[in-house]
């Protein structure tokens, strides 16, 4: 007999997400993914000056602020066919790479690692054995016995006070937890050290973007950072050297801690390479432009159908027609209505709410269902990494091989690239992407320094808005995957604006053909050891790093359900 499980809200994510699954025979047989809040920012933008859109759209989220700002200015610049000075590209690239690194470290250590690490078990660990294990895997200086003893004492003080603080309400002792006490203690030590690592990333964003979250230095046509070599009040060589210190610190943590930890988790939970693949059409975009037009990128992106890397088709430039013409959004199962049947291209997109309550076979989500040439697609770091491998991008291939080789060595058997099509594979891809981002950030830092040395300090081209109608779209490979903004500008004012965000691609409901979305597909056949404690559902959903708008809206159901609040 099947049993319905409702997890509402899914926590340790950004925003509000409800997941329903039916479990039969110890595994998931049906799944629904429901966004529980209406965004509506697109309506706020109508009639406004396009130069203000970046400042408004980054308020969509308290985490994904930078990415919406960047994508918005790219959309308006595409509509105006406006080139951007290379110095502005380099500064933007450093901000978005630092933001991505911050996001990935926070996601793994502070949001999703608790699905795999039993913190309470760490109380039984031998600090000496933990240090010996850690030092056998990496020469990270904070892997020594002294640090492990301190970590154990800190954890004991949490428990002794009667509170676990950030570790409260985990699935401690769950049968799906596999790590030894020593590995769990090591994970707790790195959880705490990651708090300092993310600080370095945020310093970079803040120094270049004036504040974080919600940067203030972006403009349609460039950035507002003045560059000079003889003033302490602007972006100087001295300030750039300070940025480099933070970049180097991040590089050490990523290579000596994050990539090693991911490989170890992958080896200990190798059975999870069999679950969570879901939709295996992968869509990503190139990013980190190094020229004024957006035709030369440091990291590739494109489309891979059916997990077949041989069929990879690249996206090559801002305004690329292949991406532009392939995107549509349907609302058959979303709480919206269109003025005509069928999905709509974002330039024609409509945002008209029509709430019906949760209907299993009808409407059940505030998220639309995006498609690429009529097919569902998974976006995110895994899509980007697979595109990098397919395109022969050497930094991506190098970090992917490092993770797979380390995990294979710990497991004692070869783990193939195909293992990345899985719940645990999405975590590995995010760490690979993080390594690539740190290299990209340093490359842009050096490029900016070299260009200043040539006497070029320009950071802004003034936009001019024509009479009549123009339209354009901007894309960005955000931490959670492909993000695109689409705008129609009429007589200098916004006539239409649509955001197609990564979590819409992945968390969207069934589409107009009733095909299930990536979250829903990835949950199918997931094992469930205890229907009252559905840790396995959280593992797969968290592997996407969900980001939905912030709100709480609990839906009651007349059927027998299990209500789970996971903190």
**Residues noted as catalytic:** 14, 61, 64, 68, 480, 503, 547, 550
Region of 214 please: left (phi>0), alpha (psi -120 to 50) or beta.
left
Residue-wise over 385-415: b if at least 16 C-beta within 10 A, else e? bbbbbbbebebbbebbebbbebbbebeeeeb
The first and second tokens of residue 294, run together, are 């957006």
Among 285, 303, 302, CA closest to 294: 285
| DSSP track, 136-177 | HH---GGGSHHHHHHHHHHHHHHHHTT--GGGTT--TT-TT-
CA distances from 21 to 3, 324, 410, 534, 549 (A): 8, 34, 34, 10, 22
Helices (H) and strands (E) in the chain, counts: 16, 16
Q: Which helix (H) or strand (E) holds 222?
A: strand 222-223
Among 105, 436, 427, 111, CA closest to 270: 427
CA 503 to CA 378: how far, in whole Å?
10
Kind of pairing, strands 562-564 and 3-7?
parallel
CA 205 to CA 195: how far, in whole Å?
16
How are the residues of the chain apportioned to helix, strand and coil, as percentages rounded to the nearest 5?
A: 45, 15, 35
Residues written for the chain? 567
Contact 519, 3 (CB under 8 A): no
Q: How many Cα atoms occupy the beta-carbon half-sphere of 429 within 13 Å? A: 30
The first and second tokens of residue 94, run together, are 């450093």
The first and second tokens of residue 168, run together, are 């409260």
CA 94 to CA 288: how far, in whole Å?
9
The first and second tokens of residue 132, run together, are 């010996």
Among 110, 101, 130, CA closest to 12: 110
CA distances from 318 to 285, 286, 289, 296, 457 (A): 10, 9, 9, 10, 24
Which of helix, strand or coil describes residue 188? helix
Q: Which residue has the tokens 């059940």?
A: 364
CA 495 to CA 465: how far, in whole Å?
13
Which of helix, strand or coil describes residue 17? strand
Contact 342, 511 (CB under 8 A): no
The first and second tokens of residue 173, run together, are 């002792």
């Amino acid at each position: 007999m099947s049993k319905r499980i409702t997890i509402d809200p899914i926590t340790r994510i950004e925003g509000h997400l409800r997941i329903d699954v039916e479990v039969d025979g110890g595994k998931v047989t049906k799944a629904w993914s429901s966004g529980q809040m209406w965004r509506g920012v697109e309506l706020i933008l109508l009639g406004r000056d396009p130069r203000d859109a970046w400042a408004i759209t980054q308020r969509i989220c308290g985490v994904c602020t930078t990415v919406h700002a960047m994508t918005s200015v790219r959309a308006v610049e595409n509509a105006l066919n406006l080139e951007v000075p290379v110095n502005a590209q380099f500064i933007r690239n450093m901000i978005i790479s630092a933001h991505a690194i911050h996001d990935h470290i926070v996601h793994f250590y502070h949001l999703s690692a608790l699905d795999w690490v039993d913190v309470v078990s760490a109380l039984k660990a031998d600090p000496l054995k933990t240090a010996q294990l850690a030092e056998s895997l990496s020469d990270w200086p904070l892997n020594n016995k002294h640090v492990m003893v301190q970590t154990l004492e800190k954890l004991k003080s949490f428990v002794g006070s009667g509170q676990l603080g950030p570790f409260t309400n985990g699935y401690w002792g769950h049968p799906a937890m596999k790590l030894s006490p020593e590995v769990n203690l090591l994970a707790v030590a790195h959880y705490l050290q990651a708090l300092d690592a993310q600080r370095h990333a945020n310093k970079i964003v803040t120094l270049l973007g004036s504040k974080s979250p919600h940067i203030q230095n972006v403009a349609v046509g460039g950035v507002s950072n003045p560059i000079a070599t003889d003033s302490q009040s602007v972006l100087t060589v001295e300030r750039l050297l300070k940025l480099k210190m933070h970049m180097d610190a991040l590089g050490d943590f990523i290579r000596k801690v994050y990539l090693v930890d991911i490989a170890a988790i992958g080896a200990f939970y190798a059975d999870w390479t069999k679950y969570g693949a879901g939709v295996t059409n992968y869509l990503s975009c190139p990013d980190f432009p190094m020229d004024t037009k957006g035709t030369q990128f440091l990291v590739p992106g494109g489309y891979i159908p059916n997990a077949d890397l041989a069929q990879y088709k690249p996206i090559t430039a801002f305004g690329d027609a292949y991406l532009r013409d392939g995107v549509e959004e349907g609302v058959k199962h979303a709480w919206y209505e269109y003025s005509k049947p069928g999905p709509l291209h974002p330039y024609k997109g409509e945002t008209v709410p029509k709430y019906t309550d949760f209907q299993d076979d009808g409407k059940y989500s505030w998220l639309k269902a995006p498609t690429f040439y009529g097919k569902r697609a998974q976006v995110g770091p895994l899509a980007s990494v697979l595109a990098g491998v397919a395109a022969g991008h050497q930094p991506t291939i190098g970090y992917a091989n490092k993770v797979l080789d380390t995990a294979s060595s710990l497991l004692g058997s070869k783990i193939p690239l195909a293992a990345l099509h899985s719940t645990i594979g999405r975590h590995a891809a995010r760490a690979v992407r993080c390594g690539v981002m740190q290299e990209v950030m340093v490359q842009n830092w050096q490029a900016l320094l070299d260009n200043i040395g040539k006497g070029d300090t320009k950071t802004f081209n003034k936009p001019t808005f024509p009479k009549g109608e123009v339209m354009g779209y901007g894309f960005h490979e955000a931490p959670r995957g492909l993000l695109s903004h689409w705008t129609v500008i009429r007589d200098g004012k916004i006539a239409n604006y649509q955001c197609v965000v990564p979590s819409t691609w992945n968390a969207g409901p069934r589409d107009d053909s009733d095909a299930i979305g990536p979250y829903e597909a990835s949950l199918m056949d997931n094992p469930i050891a205890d229907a009252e404690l559905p840790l396995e559902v959280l593992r797969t959903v968290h592997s996407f790093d969900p980001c939905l708008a912030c709100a709480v809206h609990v839906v009651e159901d007349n059927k027998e359900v299990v209500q789970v609040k996971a903190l």
